[in-house]
Structure 1
Amino acid sequence: MTEQTNDRARRPRLAEVYEPGRPGLPRGRSSLPRTAVRDAQRARLMRAAIAAVAEKGYASTTVADVVGRARVSRKAFYEHFPDLERCFLASLAGAQRTILRRLASVPPDRGRDEPGPRGTLRSGARAYLELCAQEPEFARCILVELPAVGPRALKGRNKGYRQVAALLRTWRERAGEGWPPVPEEMYLAAVGAISELIQVRLADGDPGGLPGLEDAVTEILVRLLAVPAPPDAP
């Protein structure tokens, strides 16, 4: 087992499904500071919201589903969130920040036969697809459920798309000195096209097959961002 595999095994998942038999936070007085208890409650509620929506769909999920999974009282839920929508959106906003940090820290993959800018794009595509496969609840909630929640949710999703597009723009500006410019819309178009591919695979119930889209995702990025072929390419 490689060091990278060990890191993935140790890394906590963004979504955590709380099983019925799993104990909740202590009832009554606790030796934990009040702020620690509140932080733990909020984290459990947010993760449970993602797990419930991923399983049942947003339209069929209730506050009772969330507090039951989180093993937190209904009263505690309303101390943190006014309604299910705010809980769900807060959960996704936190996940989007984590995803952006991970994508921004992907190193170039020098172990492949495709060096240079195309190899770097492939590394990023692989990292994103593996992350979606490892976090199927969040992937489903962001790409399948989120657009149907409402205008606030759609605005949040689009903000996330623009942030990923900005990462692509920054990468191209650094890697593509002397390359011809591409329309600004191409960055967002690339994010949207990749999201559609992933959404179809998720809707088919096959999150484990997402890494198999690596070639297709890399080709989308290469074409839409007009990445030139290596000088020695046939």
Structure 2
Amino acid sequence: MQDIELPSHDQARALTDRIKIAVEGTWLLIQEAYTSRTWAVLGYSTWDVYCTEEFGTTRLRLPREERQEVVASLRESGLSVRAIAAATGIGYGTVQREVASSGDPSGSPEIQGTDGKTYAVARPEPEPNIWVQPAEPDFERMVTPPAKPKRRPLPEAFADAGRDLTRAAEKLARLTEDDRFPKNRDTTHHQVPELLGALDHATQLVQAMNLPAAQTTEEARRWWAASLHKISDALRDIANSLNQEQ
């Protein structure tokens, strides 16, 4: 491998400065070629064709860190976004973003079109401050208050609860008829507080129903009264027995 003879510091600096001058001069020449319509004089139908045919293989590619500065300079010289894209090889959308991020969304107040005429650049209207809902799938659920559950019609709910109460009471009553109940009677006493609580709730329920004001037959009223007396008498007997045992 042949040894490379390194330049001196002064030689390296001189070469670098020449490159910088050449690069800066290139963009100045491009500006002049566009504004003077050199491309049209040479017979090209458009600036884009001129750039592609003349510089397609040798076009200088801008480093990313220098791109915004060069684009802004060309824009200030009057080149349109499309003309800058053709000259630099940068995509049209990229040039638009670089122009917008340069601090002046419209660039130069005037640009020269490919027809040689000068046009004023309309400044874009500011985008309205419109709130856009995030796309997260759970966002709407998180910010939407939970809907109140729809209540069932009271008569329907009351009837179902009454049937549940009847089935539970009948099940307990059947257990007392089991032949094993007498031997296990003492083990059921710890359930007395719960059963008395259920009786108390049932009493409150009957009172809330306001049976004396019910629109029903006299026969039904007599049956209700007889049933309540029977239940009351049975409970009174149990209470009296407990008092006598003390």
Higher RCO, Cα 8 Å, sep 6+: 1
Q: Name the TM-score, length of structure 2 as normaliser.
A: 0.23
Q: Name the TM-score, length of structure 1 as normaliser.
A: 0.24
Relative to total residues, which structure has the larger helix share, 1 or 2?
1
